Amino acid sequence: MLAIKAILFDMDGVLIDAKDWHYEALNRALELFGMPINRDAHLTTYDGLPTRKKLKMLSEAHGLPLALHEFLNDLKQQYTIEMTASLCKPLFQHQYALSKLHQRGYSMGVCSNSVSASVRTMMKLSKLEDYLKVQISNEDVTASKPDPEMYLLAMERLKVTPRETLILEDNDHGIQAVRASGAHLMVIGSVYDVEYNRISDKIAELETEELER
């Protein structure tokens, strides 16, 4: 019988409504050199990717000088942390969901294409860190999403198999990573879709499907 033992969450757009923060922080840095990107392009092309990958793509598509990458990456991370400090707040429905899932014995973790400082700061400010056994950032792996490496690493650390794992994701790159990992997928439309009852129902649905096979 199928038994879900672990639940993994993407961060931006799933646990934290930070997509606009990343867009604004990156654009603020790019505007210094007259190379901003529009919001639609960010959402359709760059959403969910690490900053270094975004900069590489901008160099290939628009000629952004490679020599600026390190400076722009550092500046973008600084701007993101500043915005996080003022905007990141606890969301009760997430605290409730993770506390209930924790009480039921599920091992949980977050896996994000963001840098470690952003992940840990956001999890602390959102009051979710105590429920998470693992926090994986793009600095913990050699290949970020859409590669499944960080999800496989999280499962290894939690000592569970893909078959025993449910992952919540919201964007194409993350969804590709989940599917490549072999874990069960729950697609999220916004942070407000992350509710205890929805997650509990998804787990029950997966276990019922297994019984009916």
Q: How many domains does the chain have?
A: 2
Q: Residue 61 domain-assigned?
A: yes
Whether 209 has a pLDDT exceeding 90, the answer reads no
Q: pLDDT for 33-42, tens place per residue?
A: 999 988 888 8
Residue 120 belongs to domain spanning: 6-17+89-212
Whether 97 and 191 map to the same domain: the answer is yes
Q: Residue 58 domain-assigned?
A: yes
Q: pLDDT for 119-144, tens place per residue?
A: 999 999 999 999 999 999 999 999 99
63: closest CA among 90, 22, 35, 87? Answer: 35
Whether 45 and 132 map to the same domain: the answer is no
Using DSSP, state whether 175 is helix, strand or coil. helix
Burial of 147 (0-12, 13-18, 19+ CB in 10 A): middle
Q: Residue 41 domain-assigned?
A: yes
Q: Residue 202 domain-assigned?
A: yes
Give the total residue count for the chain.
Answer: 213
* Residue labelled with tokens 């934290």: 16
Q: Give the pTM.
A: 0.86
Whether 140 and 185 map to the same domain: the answer is yes
Structure tokens at 45: 């092309």
Whether 83 and 147 map to the same domain: the answer is no
**What pLDDT score does 213 carry?**
66
Q: pLDDT for 80-130, tens place per residue?
A: 889 888 889 999 999 999 999 999 999 999 999 999 999 999 999 999 999
Whether 115 and 170 map to the same domain: the answer is yes
Q: Residue 1 domain-assigned?
A: no
CATH at 97: 3.40.50.1000
Whether 103 and 166 map to the same domain: the answer is yes
Residue ending a domain, choose from 71, 87, 103: 87
